[in-house]
Homo-oligomer: A and B are copies of this chain.
Amino acid sequence: MEHIQSTKNARVKEWKKLFSKKGRDKSDLYIIEGFHLVEEALKNQAVKEIMIEEDRELPDDLIIENIRINTITSEVSKTISETETTQGIFAVCHKKQLEIDISSHPRLLLLDRVQDPGNIGTMIRTAEAAGMDAVILGEGSGDLYNSKVIRSAQGSHFHIHVESGNLHEWIDKLKAANLPVFGTALENGVSYEAVDPVKSFALIVGNEGSGISQEILEKTDKNLYIPIYGKSESLNVAIAAGILLYYLRK
């Protein structure tokens, strides 16, 4: 156990590097915050070290073996926190990826340039809850290990395969395996209720403002829309994904 008091300590500098994608990619590590996430990370053997404010206590039921624990001052805690009111507990985690086998009739959610980290994280959480097997983050869709993505995902990323990839290559691969690939569109689509639920499928959702790119829409088997009964122009992308994933998997 080490006690870290200065925000200029070399370890604090290492932790802060994990705020950037560059820093995370270089080290294959990321940082998480809050009791619930640290607990989930421990359960999933992802933790490298824990940082906890000196006046806080680790819950008794946490199983911590061979993991370095650092106590930190509240000043250090504020420096490495990315929330407004921190719980004062953090962990550095190893990036880990679950496996996915396309021949096993999986269900996948593909994100085309979704920008908002909260939307990305919420969709990972929803996909995992809906029993999906993987979430593919297309180019321009942000990084799984961004702290806001991880926070919104609420630990679900430990239980579902998430990877960054080229959506065109993925769609080709999925179609070669005879998986139906559904896009989502406001125009020139079919109402989702006109499609029958299927055992295995891929659903693509797109950017908050512009939706799915035209080239991708042209490669899908069908493009679905959710009817709008009011005067809104659209639904939030994560809400739309939730409605479609639960409908399609029935």
Q: A residues near B, CB below 8 A?
A: 118, 122, 125-126, 128-132, 152, 154-156, 159-160, 193, 226, 228-232, 234-236, 238-240, 242-243, 246-247, 249-250
Contact = CB atoms under 8 A, between A and B. Distances in A.
A156 B125 contact: no
Contacts of A154: 232
Contact of A236 (B122, B228, B230): B122
Contacts of A230: 128-132, 156, 159-160
A235 B128 CA distance: 10
B232 A129 contact: yes
A203 to B, nearest CB: 14
Contacts of A159: 230-232
A238 to B, nearest CB: 6
Which 10 residue pairs spanning A and B have beta carbons closest together? Answer: A131-B229, A239-B242, A128-B230, A129-B232, A159-B231, A129-B228, A243-B246, A156-B232, A129-B230, A128-B232
Contacts of A129: 228-230, 232, 234-235
A125 B226 CA distance: 14
B126 A229 contact: no
Contact of A122 (B152, B229, B239, B243): B239
Given A126-B235, A132-B230, A229-B249, 19 more contacts: A118-B118, A125-B236, A126-B239, A128-B232, A129-B230, A129-B232, A129-B234, A129-B235, A131-B229, A154-B232, A155-B232, A156-B230, A156-B232, A159-B230, A226-B246, A238-B239, A239-B239, A240-B242, A242-B243
One complex includes copies of this chain to the number of: 2
Contacts of A229: 129-131, 249
Contacts of A243: 242-243, 246
Contacts of A128: 230-232
A241 to B, nearest CB: 8
B250 A193 contact: yes
A232 B235 CA distance: 24
B242 A235 contact: yes
A228 B129 CA distance: 5
B226 A126 contact: no
A147 to B, nearest CB: 15
11 contacts: A125-B236, A128-B232, A129-B235, A131-B229, A132-B230, A154-B232, A155-B232, A156-B231, A159-B231, A242-B243, A243-B246
